[in-house]
Amino acid sequence: MTAPRLQIDLDALAQNFHTLRRRVAGDLPTQRAAAVVKANAYGLGMAPIAQRLWQEGCRRFFVALADEGAQLRSMLPHAQIYVLAGVTGQTLEAIKAHGLIPVLNSLEQCRLWSQGNAGSTSALHIDTGMHRLGLSPDEAMSALPALQVELVMTHFARADEWGQAMRMQQLERFAACVPALLQRFPEALFSANNSAGALTDSVLPTWVAGLDEHRLVDRLGIGLFGANPHSLKDCAAAAVQLATVATLEAEVLQIRSVAAGASVGYGSTYTVAQACRLATIGVGYADGVSRLLSNQGQVYFRGQRFAMVGRVSMDSLVVELPADSAVGGGFTVGDWVEVFGSNIGVDEVATQMQTIAYEVFTGLGSRVRRLS
């Protein structure tokens, strides 16, 4: 059995980067667009993705943890790398040693970074309503120690929901902080948009008077990798065509003919209605293909879809083929089939798995070979 493979199309990644940045920035420099490459670039492989984005002009990158930042620094020695978790006593020295920029989320983190690091660059996260990480607006405007802040950000709780009022409420709270923060940090940049926001707002500079659009930074994540960042599929932003970056493929291990009435897989949850062939495919839930796809997922091969039947196992799944080998794509042992990609979109698979594309990507197992 050959391990499943994840084909990464770096040209498609580059296309999505420029599509998203032009959506809001037009012909403004690429510095306005930052890439979120936390969790091994959403499970797709940090090294090739970060390096290609650097080649395309991306200079700002966000990771979740200091360890991820150190890993990225070894690949991109001159990038600006922001650590979303901020700084703690345990990560302080690593952040300093690797020249990372902590996103300060609390007064405690601000004080820790200020002690002996007041001249070192930091970012500031203001919580405008998500209640996860970040300082309150009052804390951000009145109680900060001495800091050198390069970027001020907030994070939308519901940017993926087209037209949701909470996003504008958060934006208004953020905008109310900007004048005072500009007075204290006159060179600071400001960031509110993720991929969903970037696809939705084409005139974002109007959210605060006098804030030059060159000072806005969009944090691009899931959209870079070709997934629709909006939960409402019929919204106007969904009409923007994002290229498929990741294609999960697996090998055909065995093909057998069975008679009508044969049951398939653990628990015998599927019984074939008529004589057919069954193809066993070498990918399973250990690779990130959820058991929720049992008896409802599909694979794609040579212009056709074939239904997954029976339960998805740890290392394999089964699809049903017509009894006539001349019909149904001509499956043979050793062929590779698509689990998701340009023909079966990751968003469709995520819906069947009762989750989102983020989890599908990040849930891909370690034995899946990432190829680019």
Tens of pLDDT, residue by residue over 17-26, are: 999 887 665 5
Average pLDDT of the residues in 168-174: 87
User: pLDDT-based confidence at 205, cuts 50/70/90?
Assistant: very low
The 10 Å Cβ neighbour count of residue 135 is: 21
Task: Identify the pLDDT of residue 209.
Answer: 58
Q: How many CA atoms, within 13 angstroms, populate the side-chain half-sphere of residue 320?
A: 23
The span from the CA of 266 to the CA of 324, in Å, is: 26
Residue of 38, 42, 300, 358 marked active site: 38
Is 96 among the residues known to form the active site? no
Task: Identify the pLDDT of residue 232.
Answer: 55
142 contacts 122 by C-beta, under 8 angstroms: no
301-309 long-range Cβ contacts below 8 angstroms, 24+ apart: 301/329, 301/331, 301/335, 301/337, 301/338, 302/329, 302/330, 303/329, 304/328, 304/329, 305/343, 305/344, 306/279, 306/337, 309/264, 309/265, 309/270, 309/272, 309/278
Tokens (6 digits) for 260: 């009508």
DSSP-assigned beta bridge partners for residue 278: 256, 320
Residue of 58, 22, 65, 15 lying closest to 40 (CA atoms) = 65
**Predicted confidence (pLDDT) at residue 331 exceeds the cutoff of 60:** yes
246 contacts 361 by C-beta, under 8 angstroms: yes
pLDDT in tens, 291-316: 999 999 999 999 999 999 999 999 99
pLDDT in tens, 82-131: 999 999 999 999 999 999 999 999 999 999 999 977 779 999 999 999 99
Average pLDDT of the residues in 62-68: 98
- What residues contact 74, with CB distance under 8 A and at least 6 apart? none
The span from the CA of 153 to the CA of 133, in Å, is: 11
Superfamily of structural domain 9-239: Alanine racemase (3.20.20.10)
Average pLDDT of the residues in 42-47: 98
The span from the CA of 298 to the CA of 307, in Å, is: 4
Its pTM stands at 0.93
Task: Identify the pLDDT of residue 24.
Answer: 60
For residue 267, is it left (φ>0), alpha (ψ between -120 and 50) or beta?
left
The span from the CA of 211 to the CA of 189, in Å, is: 10
Q: At what angle do helices 66-75 and 46-55 cross, to 10 degrees?
A: 60
Nearest-Å Rg of the Cα atoms of the chain is 24
Task: Identify the pLDDT of residue 238.
Answer: 52
Within 165-293, where are the H helices? 165-184, 195-200
311 contacts 266 by C-beta, under 8 angstroms: yes
- Amino acid identity of residue 336, one-letter, is W
Average pLDDT of the residues in 140-150: 90
Average pLDDT of the residues in 316-320: 98
User: pLDDT-based confidence at 330, cuts 50/70/90?
Assistant: confident
Residue of 233, 266, 270, 358 marked active site: 266
Q: Tell how many helices (H) and how many strands (E) occur in the chain.
A: 11, 18
246-371 has which fold?
Lyase, Ornithine Decarboxylase; Chain A, domain 1 (2.40.37)
User: pLDDT-based confidence at 170, cuts 50/70/90?
Assistant: confident
**Predicted confidence (pLDDT) at residue 212 exceeds the cutoff of 90:** no
Tokens (6 digits) for 113: 């970074």
Q: Where are the domains of the chain?
A: 9-239, 246-371
- What residues contact 173, with CB distance under 8 A and at least 6 apart? 126, 128, 129, 137, 154
Is 38 among the residues known to form the active site? yes
The 3-state DSSP class for residue 190 equals strand
The span from the CA of 183 to the CA of 180, in Å, is: 5
Tokens (6 digits) for 297: 């997922």
Task: Identify the pLDDT of residue 161.
Answer: 75
Task: Identify the pLDDT of residue 203.
Answer: 42
246-371 and 9-239 share a CATH fold: no
